[in-house]
Amino acid sequence: MEKKLQPSIPEKLYYKIGEVSEITGVEPYVLRYWESEFKIISPLRTNSKQRLYRKRDLELILEVKKLLYREKFTIAGAKKRLQEIKGLKEKQLKLELPDKKYYDGLLRVKKELQDLHGLLS
């Protein structure tokens, strides 16, 4: 079975809906629909209501596309799977960051930042 590579996402702060459509291969009307169904896809809006997507939004769109089109999930199934993935990532993050080990380091960084702030004031 042929394995398709995930498209590369150009390094930018924001992407317009046309760019997102071109990068992901998903039509703009589908992106707007997914935005209404998957609350985790939440592009910023300009004053003129134009959508501005971040790289994280594109990654989520590609994940939704994979779940729906390749793995044949329903919308409800894809929502559930994304929640499971989110839960696993949060659990993994907690495992990787033992409280005591990093607490002291963060206190040192905080102190240094306060000292720098004092110098600049």
Domain extent listing, the chain: 17-120
**Residue 58 tokens, joined:** 């594109």
CB 56 within 8 A of CB 18: no
Buried/exposed 8-17: b ≥16 CB within 10 Å, e otherwise = eeeeeeebbb
- Tens of pLDDT along the chain (121 residues) come to 445 556 788 888 999 999 999 999 999 999 999 999 998 899 999 999 999 999 999 999 999 999 999 999 999 999 999 888 887 777 666 665 566 667 777 888 888 888 888 888 7
CATH number of this structure's domain 17-120: 1.10.1660.10
